[in-house]
């Protein structure tokens, strides 16, 4: 029996999403794109999940699109080709939107290659931890394509337009240290402790004030198109919303009682 191309394991309020095509370096095909869309749509509304982790099976995170799949389309007419890819891109873009608006933190755990859509997927998450052996390459123009998956949305916001343009046009390959230094990822760890560090971060996030985290994401995701007045108004409304939560009361009481808070995500 063939294993699913997307695996989901839920434990301790954490959902571990694994891209499961290790022999193909977890590259995207139609089945994986559909699986991503369905998986993140489900997790977006799963109140039992307070943190989502995305990783790749085997030695690599995701090496982008499946070039063998692309090669199979060359014999088709341009209209047939576009029709097939349109559906695939629609699915992965729905997945990216679900990740961006997910009312809980999303963490990517990167080992080996993150290329093409693999970089886009990593950038869509809120945080990223990578092993020292990880490397990052946009790679799209290597096969005559422009980016998808929100890379042109995320990269300029993280790096600035000129550096984003360089990475995409020149296809520079970055190691983990370089990616961390320019803000593409948050942590770099030794290869043999990646899973341990990932779980440590995920557990901290899953035990946090989930409603406050949701509002943090909303505020930061709106900051680049809001005016200062709009952002201040949004901050005020989100702050007032946090005051209504049980986690706010728990946070205040734990501070006064000099103990660690026991947040419930409520």
pLDDT tens sequence across 96-145: 999 999 999 999 999 999 999 999 999 999 999 999 999 999 999 998 99
Task: Name the pLDDT band for 166 (thresholds 50, 70, 90).
Answer: very high
Contact call for residues 134 and 169 (beta carbons, < 8 A)? no
Mean per-residue pLDDT for 174-190? 97
> Mean pLDDT over residues 189-205, rounded?
97
Give the list of residues 6+ apart from residue 115 with CB closer than 8 angstroms, or none. Answer: 62, 63, 64, 136, 137, 138, 139
What residue segments make up the domains of the chain, in order of their start?
6-206, 210-256
* The predicted structure's pLDDT at residue 56: 98
Question: Please, what CATH class does the domain formed by 6-206 belong to?
Answer: alpha beta
- Please give the class, per CATH, of domain 210-256: mainly alpha
Q: Which helix (H) or strand (E) holds 239?
A: helix 228-242
Which phi and psi (to 5°) does residue 8 adopt?
Answer: -130, 125
pTM: 0.93
What pLDDT digit, counting tens, does each position of 209-258 carry? 999 999 999 999 999 999 999 999 999 999 999 999 999 999 999 999 99
pLDDT, averaged across the chain: 94
Strand boundaries in 12-156, DSSP class E: 14-19, 51-56, 106-110, 113-115, 127-131, 135-137
Distance CA 226, CA 233 (A): 10
Q: What is the model's pLDDT at position 1?
A: 61
pLDDT attached to residue 76: 76
Backbone angles phi, psi at 41, to 5 degrees: -65, -40
Q: Is 123 helix (H, G, I), strand (E, B) or coil?
A: helix
Q: Do domains 6-206 and 210-256 have the same CATH topology?
A: no
């Amino acid at each position: 029996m063939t294993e699913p191309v997307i695996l989901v394991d839920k434990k301790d309020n954490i959902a571990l999403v694994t891209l499961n095509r290790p022999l193909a370096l977890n590259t995207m095909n139609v089945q994986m794109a559909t699986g991503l869309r369905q998986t993140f749509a489900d997790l977006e509304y799963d109140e039992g999940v307070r943190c989502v982790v995305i990783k790749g099976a085997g030695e690599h995170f995701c090496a982008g699109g499946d070039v063998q799949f692309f090669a199979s389309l060359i014999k088709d007419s341009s209209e047939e080709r576009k029709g097939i890819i349109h559906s695939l891109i629609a699915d992965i873009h729905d997945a990216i939107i679900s990740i961006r608006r997910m009312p809980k933190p999303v963490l990517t755990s990167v080992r080996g290659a993150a290329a093409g859509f693999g970089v886009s997927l990593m950038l869509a998450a809120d945080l990223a931890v990578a092993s020292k052996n990880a490397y990052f390459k946009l790679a799209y123009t290597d096969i005559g394509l422009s980016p998808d998956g929100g890379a042109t949305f995320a990269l300029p916001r993280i790096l600035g337009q000129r550096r984003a343009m360089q990475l995409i046009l020149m296809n520079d390959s970055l190691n983990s240290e370089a990616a961390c230094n320019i803000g593409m990822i948050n942590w770099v760890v030794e290869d043999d402790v990646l899973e341990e560090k990932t779980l440590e971060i995920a557990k901290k996030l899953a035990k946090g004030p989930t409603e406050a985290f949701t509002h943090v994401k909303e505020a930061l995701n709106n900051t680049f198109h809001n005016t200062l007045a709009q952002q201040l108004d949004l901050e005020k409304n989100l702050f007032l919303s946090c005051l209504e939560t049980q986690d706010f009361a728990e946070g205040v009481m734990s501070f006064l009682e000099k103990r660690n808070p026991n947040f419930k995500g409520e």
